[in-house]
Amino acid sequence: MFRHHSQPLVTAPAETAVLALLLAEGPLSRVELARRTGLSSTAVTKAARPLIDDGYLYELPPERTAPGAGRPVNPLAVAPDREFFVGLKISAGRLLGAVCDLRAGIRATAGRAIGTCTPEAVAALTAELVDELLDTEPVFRDRTRHLGVTVNGDVDRDSGRVRHSGLLGWRDVPLAELLAASTGLSVTVENDVRALTVAEHWFGEGIGTGYFALVTIGAGIGSALVVNGRLLRGAYGVAGEVGHISVDPTGPRCCCGALGCVEAIASTDAILAAVRRDTAYAHLTFDEVATMARAGHPAAGGAFARAGRAIGTGIAALVNLVGPERVVVSGEGVDTYDLLSPHIQEAYAAHAFGAASRCPLSLRPLPWEEWARGGAAVAIQALFPQYGATPTTGAG
């Protein structure tokens, strides 16, 4: 039967290694699993047994690895429908939710406008939204126990608290506790960009990489790093913040108080402010500025060029320090990537040091569902206690 909802699925290192590899990479034979995890074939078989019995893994029909290659093997695969996860993104005016399966495939989505943005009102709205999502298919309600919630700002996943979210106007909110009480699910809370990075690392471009970075561009410049296969949190909860690397000490003042941060030059607001100032058109919108830049307007084009150079220089600093295997650039700002990209690439090439510059930058569009999917990915990680904090549960 279904395990108690606060109990982790796997605790033994061998079980964790086998399930994590199958989750990320799909069906593999026991021999391949043994080779990739460094376990013996006997240890793989022993680790897989309880997960097969519990319905999380199943054996595919036998296949011969090569003509005449002896006994056929049954590859092991994850049963994606064995458990479902709700992912939620809380943004300034909107709640976005998704039900994802065990391999982070999106199965249903729904949203709600947020009227009053108090934590209590959002908790009540979350309960409604989760109900709507779990009602879309009967099997969702039976097989969902984890909710992963993502918020912009300073989030402490261990305690489930939002320490500060400027966008929501929240300070020190025990969000996991509130949502566990209102939904009855076990809840993990994470910063939105970190959650997106987890999704991309486990189920996207970052699969199999030990060192990986994701940078989001748009209203803010966000980033998160994976080091040695783990999300980097830093001793003080802050690490890998590309947006607040200063790339021009004489540059504009950033919202963080420092001068010339990447974000102060390259956020959509910063680009817009620069063009308004340079053209003396105080009512320009960001879309108009993008159109002007595409039509060759020098002030608009110059602002995107400065923004692109700031982003590329910031990413190069990150790459030089940490040496990721790849960097994914995402965020709503990718809509103007055509204007930014040549300048990002040029500055990146100019500043990346030695072999680190072999790290490719790839672009990933970001439909809103992806933010909610990031929440679900964090909830999936809650099955593996060593990848994060124990989720917060309600009275259950």
Q: Which is nearer to Zn ion, 256 or 349 (CB)?
A: 256
Would the CA dihedral through 250, 255, 261, 262 be positive or negative? negative
Residues in 327-386 at the binding interface with Zn ion, rule: CB under 5 A: none
Stretch that binds Zn ion, among 112-120, 166-174, 255-263, 311-319 (CB under 5 A): 255-263
Closest CA to 48 of 25, 31, 24: 31
Residues in 201-240 at the binding interface with Zn ion, rule: CB under 5 A: none
Q: Which is nearer to Zn ion, 156 or 263 (CB)?
A: 263
| 265 sits near Zn ion (criterion: CB under 5 A) | no
Residues 378 and 189: their CA atoms lie apart, in Å, by 8
| 311 sits near Zn ion (criterion: CB under 5 A) | no
Stretch that binds Zn ion, among 7-15, 138-146, 247-255, 336-344 (CB under 5 A): 247-255
**What b-and-e string marks burial along 177-193, b requiring 16 or more CB atoms within 10 Å of the CB?**
bbbbbbbbbbbbbbbbb
Distance of CA 15 to the CA centre of its chain: 24
Stretch that binds Zn ion, among 47-55, 213-221, 250-258, 375-383 (CB under 5 A): 250-258
Q: How many residues bind Zn ion (CB under 5 A)?
A: 5
Q: Which is nearer to Zn ion, 220 or 394 (CB)?
A: 220
Q: Which is nearer to Zn ion, 226 or 254 (CB)?
A: 254
Q: Which is nearer to Zn ion, 105 or 153 (CB)?
A: 153
Q: How far apart are the first and last CA of the chain?
A: 16
Contact 307, 266 (CB under 8 A): yes
Q: Which is nearer to Zn ion, 264 or 293 (CB)?
A: 264
| 254 sits near Zn ion (criterion: CB under 5 A) | yes
Contact 151, 160 (CB under 8 A): no
- Closest distance of CB 40 from Zn ion, Å: 50
| 256 sits near Zn ion (criterion: CB under 5 A) | yes
Q: Among 201, 244, 343, 373, which residue sits at the site for Zn ion (rule: CB under 5 A)? A: 244
Per-residue tokens: 327: 């960097």
Q: Which is nearer to Zn ion, 92 or 256 (CB)?
A: 256
Contact 199, 104 (CB under 8 A): yes
- Closest distance of CB 242 from Zn ion, Å: 10
| 261 sits near Zn ion (criterion: CB under 5 A) | yes
Q: Which is nearer to Zn ion, 261 or 322 (CB)?
A: 261
Per-residue tokens: 103: 């391999």
- Closest distance of CB 309 from Zn ion, Å: 17
Strands (E), the chain: 57-59, 76-78, 84-90, 94-100, 106-113, 144-151, 154-156, 161-165, 170-173, 186-191, 212-216, 222-227, 230-231, 326-330, 361-363
Residues 184 and 123: their CA atoms lie apart, in Å, by 11
Per-residue tokens: 253: 């003042």
Per-residue tokens: 189: 């809370």
The β-bridge relationship of strands 154-156 and 161-165 is antiparallel
Stretch that binds Zn ion, among 2-10, 149-157, 243-251, 282-290 (CB under 5 A): 243-251
Stretch that binds Zn ion, among 147-155, 244-252, 357-365, 378-386 (CB under 5 A): 244-252
Stretch that binds Zn ion, among 141-149, 168-176, 214-222, 249-257 (CB under 5 A): 249-257
> Which residues are near Zn ion by CB under 5 A?
244, 254, 256, 258, 261
